[in-house]
Chains A and B, each alone.
Chain A
């Protein structure tokens, strides 16, 4: 299971359910992250952490029913990157939030 966590000083960590994601890590140390979620109810919490970081991890996960929180057993962190952009896309039927992050 892949989970996305947003962290920022002064705020609690925010677990974001992932619809799609992409992480790239280059040999020169550059890291790029893009995460898309349809949990539009988290838009305010995400906006509050716009100057924070995104942490992508993988592991065996347990989802707490009805809550955007996850517990990972033996998690492995894939990437940590600083948030650079938050984009909201709204269509007639669906909405999504895309978070982009980058680290050098």
Chain B
């Protein structure tokens, strides 16, 4: 039986119980006001040249396309969606299975937008083939991939607020431009992480297999080239409204000559994630003037310690940040301290932190690294 084609759906109120519903085409018109209910039957090939709003699709979606604007589209996927694509702006796409649960449970083939995409909320429990954003993705912050095996995440322009949680290997993360707000927890090794643009606000990057994490200390001083020195430990303490104190420990005196020439300068500590000779990720942890150089030792071993204070910086964009990887909690006279093995480089004094029922303003944040490990401690005082 030939399937029916509807060309003008304005004001259409349809309910199909037990019958296939295919090939809805609105041409260049809008799907404004469409109210549909499909109970357990496939739904294929919806095209809305003029976009639409308040559209609900319950059955498997083959392709949903628009040359116009999608506003407040509610998509319920109980099965595999093939493609969700919008060449124009998508105001607010929400996908959920039922109630307020926002999820795409089966495998998602492609979620793509060449225009604006806001408010996508997706929970995927199976592999996602690809998440593309060729245009600006304003609020993809709610994309959370759980227990998934993503094939590729790529962005040719700025993508802000991506929350990405991966517990299985990711084959590739590619960014041709800045990725802002990337919340990335990698418990396994990505095959490739290629970042040709910048990464801003990459909050968590924890890679445990196949790559090396190391810390680099650069001594910088006007009139001299930068000197890169090895460090065996560092501590950086930021306080709300107070100068931040930082110190690094340099083993041996092999670099004493270079350091003595640059004692009027600064030391900058960065974390580097590398695989072999390839640097996958680099981010500055802190920069501090060299206020004091201390050389200590005996006839066998010596160390150089550089320390300094930098002025307090105002936190103008307070965030609410969940703390992960907490291995120690202290409550003393109403003062809460959380120690975590996950270092959040973008947590700032003045931000609100959340952990297991605790919610408090981070007044003091301490980063520490030494031969016994690294940790971050957040204190409410």
What's the Cα separation between A51 and B92 when bound, in Å? 80
Residue of A nearest to B292 (CB): A26
Inter-chain contacts of A25 with B (CB < 8 A): 263, 292-294
- In chain A, positions 11-67 with a C-beta closer than 8 Å to chain B are 17-27, 56, 58
Tell me the smallest distance from the CB of A38 to a CB of chain B, in Å.
10
Is there an interface contact between B264 and A22, defined as CB atoms closer than 8 Å? no
Is there an interface contact between A19 and B299, defined as CB atoms closer than 8 Å? yes
Is B257's CB within 8 Å of the partner chain A? yes
- In chain B, positions 249-275 with a C-beta closer than 8 Å to chain A are 253, 256-257, 260, 263-264
Inter-chain contacts of A2 with B (CB < 8 A): 253, 297, 299, 302
Residue of B nearest to A78 (CB): B295
Is there an interface contact between B292 and A76, defined as CB atoms closer than 8 Å? no
Is there an interface contact between B298 and A20, defined as CB atoms closer than 8 Å? yes
Q: Do most interface residues of chain A lie in helix, strand or loop, or is the interface mixed?
A: strand
Is there an interface contact between B297 and A20, defined as CB atoms closer than 8 Å? yes
What's the Cα separation between A20 and B302 when bound, in Å? 9
Number of interface residues, chain B, beta carbon within 8 A: 19
User: With A27-B289, A76-B256, A76-B260 given, is the CB distance from A21 to B294 under 8 Å?
Assistant: no
- In chain B, positions 294-310 with a C-beta closer than 8 Å to chain A are 294-299, 302, 308
Inter-chain contacts of B290 with A (CB < 8 A): 27
Is B32's CB within 8 Å of the partner chain A? no
Tell me the smallest distance from the CB of B303 to a CB of chain A, in Å.
10
Residue of B nearest to A56 (CB): B295
Is there an interface contact between B298 and A21, defined as CB atoms closer than 8 Å? yes
Is there an interface contact between B294 and A23, defined as CB atoms closer than 8 Å? yes
What's the Cα separation between A18 and B297 when bound, in Å? 9
What's the Cα separation between A104 and B308 when bound, in Å? 19
Tell me the smallest distance from the CB of A36 to a CB of chain B, in Å.
9
Interface size class of A (residues with CB under 8 A): 10 to 19
For B64-75 the 0/1 string (1 means CB < 8 A from A) is: 000000000000
What's the Cα separation between A19 and B297 when bound, in Å? 8
Is B291's CB within 8 Å of the partner chain A? yes
Is there an interface contact between B298 and A18, defined as CB atoms closer than 8 Å? yes
Is there an interface contact between A58 and B293, defined as CB atoms closer than 8 Å? no
What's the Cα separation between A25 and B308 when bound, in Å? 12
Residue of B nearest to A37 (CB): B299
Tell me the smallest distance from the CB of B119 to a CB of chain A, in Å.
50
Tell me the smallest distance from the CB of B229 to a CB of chain A, in Å.
15
Inter-chain contacts of A78 with B (CB < 8 A): 256, 260, 295
Choose from B289, B292, B293, B299 the contact partner of A18 (Cβ within 8 Å). B299
Inter-chain contacts of B264 with A (CB < 8 A): 27
User: With A2-B302, A27-B264, A78-B260 given, is the CB distance from A22 to B253 under 8 Å?
Assistant: no
Is there an interface contact between B298 and A19, defined as CB atoms closer than 8 Å? yes
Tell me the smallest distance from the CB of B294 to a CB of chain A, in Å.
4
Choose from A1, A17, A19, A24 the contact partner of B294 (Cβ within 8 Å). A24
What's the Cα separation between A89 and B290 when bound, in Å? 34
Tell me the smallest distance from the CB of B302 to a CB of chain A, in Å.
6
Residue of A nearest to B305 (CB): A24
Residue of B nearest to A28 (CB): B291
A-B contact pairs, 17 of them (CB 8 A): A2-B302, A18-B299, A19-B299, A20-B297, A21-B296, A21-B297, A22-B294, A23-B293, A23-B294, A24-B292, A25-B293, A25-B294, A26-B291, A26-B292, A27-B289, A58-B253, A76-B260
Which A residues lie at the B interface, using CB under 8 A? 1-2, 17-27, 56, 58, 76, 78-79
Which B residues lie at the A interface, using CB under 8 A? 253, 256-257, 260, 263-264, 289-299, 302, 308
* Extra inter-chain contacts (20) besides given A21-B295, A76-B257, CB under 8 Å: A1-B299, A2-B302, A17-B299, A19-B298, A20-B297, A21-B296, A22-B294, A23-B293, A23-B296, A24-B293, A24-B294, A25-B263, A25-B293, A25-B294, A27-B264, A27-B291, A27-B292, A56-B295, A76-B260, A78-B295
